[in-house]
Chain A
Amino acid sequence: AQKITQTQPGMFVQEKEAVTLDCTYDTSDQSYGLFWYKQPSSGEMIFLIYQGSYDEQNATEGRYSLNFQKARKSANLVISASQLGDSAMYFCAMREGTDWGYQKVTFGTGTKLQVIP
């Protein structure tokens, strides 16, 4: 079974509008962490936002917020006021386990976001 599922291979959004990128996850661990990374066409992976499984509040970082619904096992990324520079591939990822040294982070297949002027 897929650990991280991103069901939207591609999305379009009008500049200045908000957009939600979907992510669902599968784990039996009680302690886990969820991440979103941005990959522009240049290829580098840029960290955007992190949500811990025990965090009660949704994470926010500037224009990025993570809509964390634990019971539904979803961790959607919301980008407010989209900018042309937001056009990129977006990956949802999960870290499982609490063992010291257990550090595998699993990525989803990504969503390609295109911001239209």
Chain B
Amino acid sequence: EPEVTQTPSHQVTQMGQEVILRCVPISNHLYFYWYRQILGQKVEFLVSFYNNEISEKSEIFDDQFSVERPDGSNFTLKIRSTKLEDSAMYFCASSDGPVGGANVLTFGAGSRLTVL
């Protein structure tokens, strides 16, 4: 079964440091997303990416965040200068087409970020 893979599974960093979270979406998928989940809270949309550009972003996704698809397979989330409140589980997801019907968000297992 095709899956979305994320690395690292857990990263601990110091406040102010840059972090890059990596994702390999399902190979034939065209839409890519990042979500985050602060411990015990709901899953929050960060950004969607299609056709090599951001198609939608939330108010959480400020100038400290950026996304990139540097090659044909990886999709990365960069946090330039981490804050304590960035500590969360970050989920990458992908979909074959516009979400709905047969096209659903397939999530990776998540990358847990701990900012000290």
Chain B residues with CB under 8 Å of A104's CB are 45, 48, 56, 58
Contact A103 B101 (CB under 8 A): no
A101-B56 contact in complex given A35-B104, A45-B107, C-beta closer than 8 Å = yes
Query: Is A106's beta carbon under 8 Å from chain B?
Result: yes
Total interface residues in chain A, CB < 8 Å: 25
Which residues of the partner chain B approach A52 to less than 8 Å between Cβ atoms?
100-101
| A-B pairs with beta carbons under 8 A, tally | 73
B31 within 8 A of A: yes
Q: Is the CB of A103 within 8 A of B56?
A: yes
For residue A7, give the distance in angstroms from its CB to the closest CB of chain B: 14
Number of B interface residues, CB 8 Å?
30
Q: Chain B at the A interface: mostly helix, strand, loop or mixed?
A: strand
- In the complex, chain A residues whose CB is within 8 Å of the CB of B93: 45
Partner pick for B42 among A43, A95, A100, A110, CB 8 A cutoff = A110
The smallest C-beta distance from A54 to any residue of chain B, in angstroms, reads: 10
Q: Say yes or no: A44 contacts B104, CB within 8 Å.
A: no
- Complex interface bits, B76-112 against A, C-beta within 8 A gives 1, otherwise 0: 0000000000000101010100111100111111101
The chain A residue with its CB closest to the CB of B47 is: A104
Instruction: Find out whether the CB atom of B105 lies under 8 angstroms from the CB atom of A109.
Output: no
B98 and A103 contacting across the interface, CB-CB below 8 Å: yes
Interface residues of A (CB under 8 A from B): 33, 35, 37, 42-47, 50, 52, 91, 93, 95, 100-110
Q: Can you report 7 residue pairs joining A to B where beta carbons are below 8 Å apart?
A: A37-B43, A43-B110, A44-B107, A47-B104, A47-B106, A103-B55, A107-B35
* Further contacts, 13 of them, CB under 8 A, given A44-B110, A103-B55: A35-B104, A42-B109, A50-B101, A52-B100, A52-B101, A91-B42, A101-B98, A103-B98, A103-B99, A105-B33, A105-B45, A105-B105, A107-B35
